[in-house]
Structure 1
Amino acid sequence: MLCLMLLTCADVVGRYFLNKPVTGGFELTEVLLAALIFAGLPLVTLRGDHITVDLFDPVTPEWLFRIQHALASLIGAACTGCLAWRLWLRAEDLQRAGETTSQLQFKLAWLTYAMAILMALTAAALLVTLFRRPQR
């Protein structure tokens, strides 16, 4: 996050005051932002720090609350597992095509493989939360 902030500040200062933006600054920002988001998903999932809406939790019976938690974990694991699989297939396509960013020539397959692995870890984290006692 700090790198992203410093890069953006340097790019803005360079662009508006020195008339010389950071070369590839926009591409670096995109790559760092994607990495930041996907790197945080498994950790946030394991800690249970996702934003939740608990409008009906106070009036939901304990047994129904547990079923709801289990179903949410299972559905989430299935969805993130599917996303991991599709990201992996996309990374293979990018690898075969040799796709890179336009300015810095950063290989997009590397980032996409990392995203797929982190999404698979998120699916695993959701399966771990399945066996935890849900907290209201």
Structure 2
Amino acid sequence: MKNNGWIEKQYPEPNLYRWIGLTLEAIAATVLLLLVLLTCFDVAGRYLFNNSIDGAVELTQLGLAIMVFAQMPIITWRGSHVVVDLLDHILGNRIVKLLAIFSVLIISTSFYFLAIRIYQLAERSLRRGELTEYLGLPAGHIAQYIALMSWLTAACMLTYGAYVVLKNKNVSSSVGE
């Protein structure tokens, strides 16, 4: 019961979004832990045994991509981006809400079309058999993951982002929390 209360406190979104957020943050946290361990072992191996872990830089790059794109849908639907609200009090709540809806549409459309292009590049990479430099992993799979997370970001922004903007009476207080 304690875990359920903690989950509800940390993830105030409705059911589906709550579990998507929890899953994506668990992925990001796990990858971060693995990156910390990889870095510790790599540095210890380099200084104590004069031998670093082969492909550690490449694994770090892949881990950062996984971590960043796992957080992207969560940051986007919570409105946790940097927001400048200098004109909100001057423009009024109705215009700010209209601009927020316009922002939701622009962001979700941009992520959708960006994901289409990234997925096309991933397919091309897999067709050509492109591999990463040191470990020889298929480069297209990470690009497919980035495209998938971009589509998820677009969907979350369009659905839940618009819901938050339309639900709240004071838009500027709901953005950036």
Q: TM-score scaled to structure 1, two decimals? A: 0.92
Task: Show the 5 A alignment for 1:1-136.
Answer: 1-128=32-159, 129-133=161-165, 134-136=171-173
The question of whether the paired residues in 1 share the 8 Å contact of 2:88 and 2:172 is answered with no
Q: What's the CA shift for 1:60?
A: 3.0
Count residues with an aligned counterpart.
136
Q: What's the secondary structure of 1:106's corresponding residue? A: coil
Q: Distance in 1 between matches of 2:109 and 2:77?
A: 16
Of the structure 1 ranges 126-135 and 37-46, higher mean CA displacement relative to structure 2 is found in: 126-135
Structure 2 unaligned blocks of 5 or more: 1-31, 166-170
For residue 6 of structure 1, give the secondary structure of its aligned residue in structure 2. helix
CA distance in 2, matches of 1:51, 1:103: 36
- The TM-score, its normalising length taken from structure 2, stands at 0.72
* Superposition RMSD in Å: 1.4
Q: Could you tell me how far 1:102 is from its partner in structure 2?
A: 1.8
**Deviations for 1:15-45, whole angstroms, at most 9, x for unmatched residues?**
2332111111011000000011111111122
Q: Give, as a single letter, the amino acid of the residue that structure 2 aligns with 1:29.
A: T
CA distance in 1, matches of 2:109, 2:134: 36
Task: Letter of the 2:56 partner, please give it.
Answer: G
**Structure 1 alignment gaps of length 5 or more:** none
Deviation track 1:35-91 (CA, whole Å, cap 9, x = no partner) reads 111111111222222222222223330001101101111111111111100110010
Q: 1:71 aligns to what SS in structure 2?
A: helix
The one-letter code matched in structure 1 to 2:61 is E
Q: How high is the sequence identity, in percent, across the aligned residues? A: 35
CA distance in structure 1 between the partners assigned to 2:37 and 2:79 by the alignment: 29
Q: Distance in 1 between matches of 2:141 and 2:39?
A: 23
CA-CA distance at 1:135 after TM superposition: 4.5
